[in-house]
Amino acid sequence: MALDMTTEQREIVGMVRDFVEREIIPVAHQLDHDDTYPADIVAHMKELGFFGFAIAEEYGGSGLDYETYAMVCEEIARGWMSITGIINTHFIVSFLIEKYGTDEQKQRFLPKMATGEQHGGFSMSEPNCGSDVQAIQTRAIRDDGEYVINGTKMWATNGEHATVVATLVKTDPEATPPHRGMSCILAEKQYAGFSASRHIEKLGYKGVETTELVFDNNRQPAANLLGGVEGQGFKQMMAAIEVGRVNVAARGVGVAQRAFELAIEYAQQRHAFGVPIAQHEAIQFKLADMATKIEAARLLTNYAARKKDAGDRADVEAGMAKLFATETCMEVVTDAMRVHGGYGFSKEYVIEQLYRDAPLLIIGEGTSEIQRLIIAKGLLERHRLKS
């Protein structure tokens, strides 16, 4: 790792790496191909305090900063990317509650989230709108001390296992522009009319469920309106997405790192024309480019995390990190498959699994095209000509 780390960071990252080597890597390949939820791994992660990593100490968590959080996510993704999905949405919800929640919401949710008793989910997208968030249709109507919610959400990671889902809804459909009429409800599964209706079959990202969520006259307490004020949901969700994008960038670095490690090991074992293929210039060029891109992606991700830690707006930095790290991941995994030759196409080798996982990263938390728009918009704001 190219990053300078504090003693505490080295200890935490070392502990996570040991856990990944011991408990995730030996079973991940089989769990992935069976598309089996890693219940034993998740249970042990709860015992070790993983679910409280990004939650403040006053609520029972570890209070890790986002820089350390990104390092941890990289290590976990290096073992199996699906595990990072299980904790990423959880951390996004804890971020929302810590930053925007009422004192009552913080006391009610965060201690149980730190132990994993409450498991967070995050939901913005709907069947007919992906990147166009302002086009959502899910409606929440205030009825005395409750909100009645109707609508369908899509692409919800942890949709089945989550107990509380930060859900973007419309509380004022007549608002102009539309985002002013959006709110975030901390929707709890314990209330009737809220369910994960179906699992979505995917190319990769196996083991963790991605579901459709249905709200059918679901009644949530008004106390579950994030922050207690309507019309703030879009702003809240966009801030949370910055955290998510740092996580996805770290995932890209982790998956790429694993692909590189497998490729450079295989290149020294596989012989062709009387020598290990690592001695052939064509393979050496690939390995050099792979390692260089990974280090650059790691540094960008670390910078975005530090920017977020400083409390600064980090939309451009998070977008750059997410864009570069995930595109790098796709390129590195593809080159690693080429280094493996025919074996890279076989399900017996982990490269095939990584090749199926990588495409999600260039789509999830905003496609590469959306990242470029965000980056360009932010740059134009920062470099606006003075009249």
Structure tokens at 189: 């599964």
Q: Is the dihedral of CA 126, 132, 133, 139 positive or negative?
A: negative
In angstroms, rounded to a whole number, what is the distance separating the alpha carbons of residues 272 and 4? Answer: 39
User: Which of 126, 365, 369, 381 is labelled catalytic?
Assistant: 365
Q: Is the dihedral of CA 9, 12, 13, 18 positive or negative?
A: positive
In angstroms, rounded to a whole number, what is the distance separating the alpha carbons of residues 156 and 154? Answer: 6
In angstroms, rounded to a whole number, what is the distance separating the alpha carbons of residues 134 and 345? Answer: 41
Q: What single-letter DSSP state applies at residue 207? A: S
Tokens 């994960």 appear where? Answer: 196
In angstroms, rounded to a whole number, what is the distance separating the alpha carbons of residues 73 and 328? Answer: 17
Q: Is the dihedral of CA 347, 351, 354, 359 positive or negative?
A: negative
Tell me if residue 365 is catalytic.
yes
Catalytic residues: 365
